[in-house]
Structure 1
Amino acid sequence: MSLLNVTFACNRYDRTTPLADGTVKPRGIDLNVLLLGGVEQVFWRMLMHQEFDASEMSLSSYLMMRDRGQDDLIAIPVFLSRVFRHSCIFVREDSKLEDPKQLIGATVGVPEYQMTAAVWAKAILLDEYGVHPRDIIWRNGGLDQPGRIEKLKLDLPADIRISYIPAEETLNQQLLDGKIDALVTARPPSSFLDGTNRVRRLIRNHREVEAEYYLRTKIFPPMHTVVIKRKLYEANRWMAMSLFEAFQETLTLCDPLKMFDGHLRYSLPFLPAWIEELQTKFGGIEMWKYGFEPNRKTLETLVRNQKEQGLVKNDLRLEDMFAPETLDSYRN
């Protein structure tokens, strides 16, 4: 039997490299993996033009699209990117802001209001600190390059105050100039990375706060999922489970316990200590676990906050967001 040719676009991760180099081969599929830099472009090309058979996808954008009745893509419960977002709120070094609760009434920049990193940051502000999105004045724009716009058109409640900064300006410079009080961004702004100490994180002890958050909630916020063109999926329903199983296999290959055998595989001097802490305190690779049921609570938290933020209008049935062949209840 001939193999099904599938083109898959994603970022380069330790969890995608085994698929790209052929170490892991999904059954029945000849997978052409495109490791593309800048996942925002992957999202745009898939959302707007469906250029690939399957791709990594913004989880927030995907759920918004499904909420709006667009079902030309179907996801599998694989979450390639996860990041704690307490650390993604930045202020000037001389800012009087020291606690997230002080953001009430503040003007805060965000590259895209709907991007998953911002959704999780706003979720943390609401759930952990009682700051609702309507309590903040939002400003959209490019982080270090001007002109960024939302990938999906926003239809927000009237009490969400948001507007674009001038097209020629950047959020990074607006923060430095005092035109905004804080900045929520997936990537640190250049003014934080340039060594000038002009910008700092709002939550100074973010690592301890994020660790406590995970141990209490068991939420390791997913940013991206994997989507397949529905037409291709409907013609080959078996492919969803084949891809899911392949991603499961790749995850076992990047277990942190395999990253140190007396020699540093990566240029990280304190890697052994981090691996030990990850294993003893957080359960190791279990934090990255794929599948629907293990991630149900986290997904429910995300969608509830999308509704609070005005991004999702309906009560989404999460089981319908993923290929039924990949649901744990289907497999049992």
Structure 2
Amino acid sequence: MNAAATAGRPIVTVNLGDYPATRAWKSGQLDSDLIDVRFSGLRAVWDEFAAMMRTQKYDCSEMSLVSYLQARALDQPFVLLPVVVTGKMQHGYIGYDAQRGPLRPKDLEGRRVGVRSHPQTTGTWARSILQNEHGVDLDGIQWICVEDPHVEGSSVPPNVGYDHSGRTMLQILLAGDVDAAVLGPDMHRDPRVQPVIADADQAAARWLDRHGIVQIIHMPVVTQALARARPDIVRELFRLYMASRAAAPEQERTAFAPHPAGVEPLRRGLQCMIDVCCEQNLLARRLTVDELFDDTTRRLGAVA
């Protein structure tokens, strides 16, 4: 926490993206008598995930769920807040260049597939879908990344390589330097890119029916130092986020509506992500859902 203060309120630094659920807070519609929040101002907040994990650059930051799980498995000093910032089914975000011919999930074996970072949460979900729904041998794929893992001390398997050209993953795909890629929002930015899973929407609906959860991508974390020294500030950050979420127009709530807040409502989704990470050997040890939180964040309630 920054030692400086404004009118007796401590300055709290926050790295949080622009979403319907954060608009009221970030636009200044909400205020706090307890803290003076300073946002990072970044559009691509994920560019600071590594700095948060390695240097605790912010008091609070949106975070890739897999990165947090890796940090927690290594006993690094962060605590999760029980609310989802982003979550979405990932079946439709594995793309290929249709001009190079059709490509289906089993065709990926023996080929090069791009993903921004090997433990990227979107990529982790995508690998699980390929493996468990389409029988793809993940070890038979050469994974090409443009970023290292966010968490120091985490490792990557031997079939991971890197492209250091400075290009985006979409550019790498369209240049033909990978055969397919996990693209996230870039999936829809070029008509040549088509989904490897042809019936992605229907496949996502079937997955949802089986598991009863929408795949979690990002959640907020706070530093352990802040959580221990000022649990009241942690509660206030949660209150502000939930107030901002409640202020979002009804028609814009689809992005977070499937994700109620609180440990128990999120337990099933978090357990599923832990299981997927263990299946892919991404964690130094198996975690429990309860150890993702501390005494303060574990009590933060389920408020719509």
Alignment TM class, shorter chain as reference: 0.7 to 0.9
Write the mapping of 1:118-267 to structure 2, written as runs, cut at 5 A.
Answer: 118-141=123-146, 148-152=147-151, 154-157=154-157, 160-165=158-163, 167=165, 171-188=169-186, 193-194=189-190, 197-254=191-248, 256-257=250-251
Of 203-212 and 215-224, more deviation after overlay is shown by 203-212
The equivalent of 1:103 in structure 2 is 108
Report the more deviating stretch, 160-169 or 307-316: 160-169
Unaligned 5+ runs, structure 1: 142-147, 260-274, 279-283
Q: Which residue identity is paired with 1:184?
A: V
Distance 1:34 1:167 in 2: 27
Larger mean CA deviation between 36-45 and 166-175 belongs to 166-175
Correspondence for 2:19: 13
Equivalent pair of 1:42/1:56 in contact (CA under 8 Å): no
Deviation at 1:173, TM superposition (A): 4.7
Matches of 1:298 and 1:97 in 2, distance apart? 33
Deviation per residue, 1:78-133 (Å, 9 max, x gap): 22111221111111214554532333333211121111111111122223223243
Amino acid across the alignment from 1:40: W
Gaps of at least 5 residues in structure 2 are 1-6
Aligned length: 295
- Counterpart of 1:180, as a letter, is V
The Cα offsets for residues 157-212 of structure 1, whole Å up to 9 and x where unpaired, read as: 5xx511123646664454335442211122326xx624xx4331212332333233
Which of 266, 271, 277 in structure 2 is aligned with 1:300? 271
Whether the 8 Å CA contact 2:170–2:186 is kept in 1: the answer is no
Residue identity matched to 2:118? Y
Distance 2:300 2:239 in 1: 16
Distance (whole Å) between structure 2 residues aligned to residue 26 and residue 111 of structure 1: 37
State the alpha-carbon separation in 1 of the partners of residues 279 and 36 from structure 2. Answer: 42
Corresponding residue for residue 271 of structure 1: none
Percent of residue pairs identical: 26
Match of 1:322 in 2: 293
CA-atom RMSD in angstroms: 2.9
Equivalent residue for 2:260, pick from 289, 299, 305: 289
| Letter of the structure 1 residue corresponding to residue 83 of structure 2 | V
In 2: Cα distance, 1:90 partner to 1:70 partner: 34
Distance in 1, Cα, partners of 2:151 & 2:165:
18
| Counterpart-to-counterpart distance in 2, 1:330 and 1:23 | 23
CA change 1:104–1:249 in 2 (3 A) is same
Distance 1:27 1:121, change over 3 A: farther
**Could you tell me whether the CA contact under 8 Å between 1:89 and 1:202 is conserved in 2?**
yes
Cα 1:31–1:135 change in 2 (3 A) is same
Structure 1 pair 212/255, CA: closer, same or farther in 2 (3 Å)?
A: farther
Counterpart of 1:145?
Answer: none
